[in-house]
Structure 1
Amino acid sequence: MNKKAVVVFSGGQDSTTCMFWALKKFDQVEAVTFQYGQRHIAELDCAREICQTLGVPHHELDMSLLNQLAPNALTRNDIEITESEGELPNTFVPGRNLLFLSFAGVLAKQIGAQHLITGVSEADFSGYPDCRDGFMKSLNVTLNLSMDDTFVIHTPLMWLDKSEVWELSDQLDAFEFVKQHTLTCYNGVKGSGCGECPSCVLRQRGLEQYEQKKEAGEVI
C-alpha cells in the first residue's frame, strides 16, 4: 500500500528533523507551512528553501487570523519575548496546533495522505498545552470522527529533549543539514541563531549536551 504523509513544517530544527524522519518512513511526503503573521518572514523563506532542496512538495496556507485573535510575542514585534516561572511563555499562541493540524488534516484528505507528522514534544515544550501527548491523541480521534477517515498523527519527538532531537537528526544523517539550514531563532537568524533568545538558548544547550555525549562515546 502506498503510504503518503504530510509534515507540519516551519523550517526549524524540530520540524526539519521530522521531515527527514518522514522521508525515511513513507513513500511520499509533502509539507505544509502556515503563514500566521510570524515575527519574521525569514521563517517562510527557510521552509521553502528546505523543501526545494529536499524535493518535497510544499503547501503554504494563510492563517493570519491567528495574529488578529491571539496577539503575542511570536506574532507582534512590539511585544517583548518574556518567560516567567510558573506561567506560560508569552510566545504561546492559543489554538495554534489545534488549527494547524486540523487544516493539515483537511489538506491530507484532499491529497490522499493518511499520516500527519508534527514536531511537538512534551519533554521540551515550555509548558505549551497543545504540545502534550494527551492533546495529540485526542485531536487524532477528533480528526478521524470529523472526516470519517483514519488519519494517524505521528509525534516522533514527543519524548525527546533537545539533545535527543540532535541525536535523532544524526541517526537520520541530517545533523549538519539541520545545524546549518534550519531557523529556530525568535529573532530570525538562521543556523546557530542570535544566541540570546529562549529558543536559541534551548537549541544550543541541547547541541552542546549531545556533542559532549558523542565525544564521551555515549552515543550508539
Structure 2
Amino acid sequence: MLKDEKAIVVFSGGQDSTTCLLWALKQFKEVEAVTFDYNQRHSLEIECAKNIANELGVKHHILDMSLLNQLAPNALTRSDIEVTDGGEGELPSTFVPGRNLLFLTFAGVLANQVGAKHLVTGVCETDFSGYPDCRDVFIKSLNVTLNLSMDYNFVIHTPLMWLNKAETWKLADELDAFDFVREKTLTCYNGVISDGCGECPACKLRQNGLDDYMKERI
C-alpha cells in the first residue's frame, strides 16, 4: 500500500483503464487521471472518461494529442479504415504507432508538475492484441528512460500486465466495482458503452473474458 503517495492514471474510460483507476484509488493517497484527445473515432470515449472521473471524484486532465492522428492514421482515428485483427505477422489496424510511448511520456511530464511519482496504465501482455507497446519489456525500458530524462524517480505500475480478460473482470469484482465497470465503461471500437456492439475485436475479447469469469463467479 502506498497511501502516502500520489499517482497519475492514464485513463481512456475503457474497462482496463477504469479498473486501473479503481485499483489506484485503493493504493494511493491521491489520484489524478489523464485522458488524451488524439481525434479518436468516437468523442464519446472522452465523455465517458469525464463522467467516470467525475463520479469517482477524481481530478481529470484532458490533453490535446491531435498530432498523433496526423502522423499515424489508423482505424481508431479514421472512419474510412476498417477495424481488423492482425494477420500473418501484421499488426492490427487499430495499432497506433507511438501511442503508449507518447501517452506515458506526457503523463510523466504531468506527474512531474503535480508532484506524483507513480504512473498507472492498463497495458497487458497476456491479452495485448499484438501491440508491441503493451509489453512488459517496453514498460520497464520506458520507466528507466523517463527517470533519466527528468531526473525524477517515477514508478510505472501495470496492474493488468499478466492478467487475462477473465482475471481483469475478477479484479474489478474484488474492487467491488464489477457492475460499475460493466455498465459505465466504453471498450467498443464502434462507440457502444457497456457490453458494446458484440462484433468488433475489443468487444469479443471483453465478452469472452466476461463469459469465462462468470463461469467461475457462479
TM-score of the pair, normalised by structure 1? 0.96
Aligned residue-pair number: 215
CA positional deviation for 1:127: 1.0
What is the aligned-residue RMSD (CA, Å)? 0.8
Counterpart residue type for residue 66 of structure 1: L
Unmatched runs of 5 consecutive residues or more in structure 2: none
1:74 is matched with: 76
CA distance in 1, matches of 2:12, 2:28: 19
Amino-acid identity (%): 71
Q: 1:152-193, CA deviations, whole angstroms, 9 ceiling, x for partnerless residues?
A: 000000000100000000000010000000000000000000
1:139 is matched with: 142
1:218 is matched with: none
1:170 is matched with: 173
1:50 aligns with 2:52: yes
Q: Which runs of structure 2 are paired with 1:93-172 in the superposition (5 Å)?
A: 93-172=96-175
CA distance in 2, matches of 1:84, 1:171: 33
Q: Which runs of structure 2 are paired with 1:15-26 in the superposition (5 Å)?
A: 15-26=17-28
> Structure 1 84/4 Cα, relative in aligned 2: closer, same or farther at 3 Å?
closer
CA positional deviation for 1:84: 3.5
Residue aligned with 1:4, SS: strand
CA positional deviation for 1:2: 2.9
Counterpart residue type for residue 114 of structure 2: I
Q: Note if contact 2:86-2:130 (Cα within 8 Å) is conserved in structure 1.
A: no
1:87 is matched with: 90
1:13 aligns with 2:15: yes
CA distance in 1, matches of 2:137, 2:207: 28
Q: 1:5-60, CA deviations, whole angstroms, 9 ceiling, x for partnerless residues?
A: 00000000000000010000000000000000100000000000000000000000
CA distance in 2, matches of 1:2, 1:167: 27
